[in-house]
Structure 1
């Protein structure tokens, strides 16, 4: 296991940005050693940006697969992000999307992100690659917000599919995954981790999935409340 498995390009960009962006301190409770699946709040890109910038150890982020390839990244920015979402003129959007797609695809590939294939059987590749990383002792961070463009501090509805990682990991190792809520606070300039959450032995998976989801969701909002970000 490597403490820093990021590629050279990502590490260089991370170093430069750290020189100019405010420092965020990381507060972690004690939990068992080994791989962790951190579940965090997207907050319209703020969560992934701050976490990948300041978390002290390397993390494999789950990333929508289109952003890991230059061609599909360009299409995403030109035909959706800049135009439909931000209302930009489509010709200007294409001009901006072209260089940005090269930068983003190279940066996220260098970060060793794990591609996520929504609504496709290729999602099995996401789980397979994730379990392989976890078995090497490397940790993962997932931002499962359904409304990822919501910049508020309160975590609302989340996709539940990430919880099936438990099934694949348990089948491969005979051990339960350690899920830890992770919250980035703008007001406190801090990244805070909640308490570890596990599936329990001998329990129905669907029932446990609901319980683990509720605990993660509740802890994320409690962390935001503790920081004064949510009343």
Structure 2
């Protein structure tokens, strides 16, 4: 319902992705200080399970995050004013993200195994995932900088569960072209050491996202 309402007011983004995709996909995109997740979840034609920091899926944790960091440290509001804004927003955001079937990401915790298990379950059902692995998620530029690569362990868990390699597709949201664009499917190769292949795959994803940004005229 929220997506239908926002679509009436927000510029329309078309989607250009490979037509020969066979099976579930892990889309990897550029965060750009919420621009990437917002546009992707608003205009992608199929349901995607987004990896979301776990605090935003729980109301009390979301409230604490907004009060202790977002509104105070990031935006400079005093704590009392931050609480006024954070209370209704934490209810809305946690409810919205749960309704979108987001997958919680537990950083620095053994509960990250829950993230991988939920992701493999979704992929095994033929559903796709989208991940925004920017280290500096607040960076507005179209050129993606450093990326976390821990999400690539999905390959290990998915292969163990299914005997198949997972398909990774770099997905770029172009401000200039008003498009979601992808042109490459990336797989781990057979019989190659995982850590060696992980470095190759993350470099390939990184390079392709920047290539798409340049090709779109955004950089």
Please give the TM-score of this superposition, normalised by the length of structure 2: 0.99
- The answer to whether structure 1 residue 185 and structure 2 residue 198 are counterparts is no
Higher deviation after alignment, 112-121 or 77-86: 77-86
CA deviations on 1:115-173 (whole Å, 9 max, x unpaired) are: 00000000000000000000000000000000001111000001110000000000000
- The answer to whether structure 1 residue 228 and structure 2 residue 217 are counterparts is yes
CA deviations on 1:52-96 (whole Å, 9 max, x unpaired) are: 000000000000000000000000011101110111121111100
Distance in 2, Cα, partners of 1:197 & 1:151: 26
CA deviations on 1:158-195 (whole Å, 9 max, x unpaired) are: 11100000000000000000000000011111110130
For residues 1-231 of structure 1, the aligned pairs below 5 Å read 12-230=1-219
CA deviations on 1:21-54 (whole Å, 9 max, x unpaired) are: 1100011123331000000000000000000000
Q: Which stretches of structure 1, 4 residues or more, deviate above 3 A after TM superposition?
A: none
Q: Which runs of 5+ in 1 are unaligned?
A: 1-11
Please give the TM-score of this superposition, normalised by the length of structure 1: 0.94
Q: What root-mean-square deviation, in Å, do the aligned CA atoms of Structure 1 and Structure 2 show?
A: 0.6
Distance in 2, Cα, partners of 1:98 & 1:194: 41
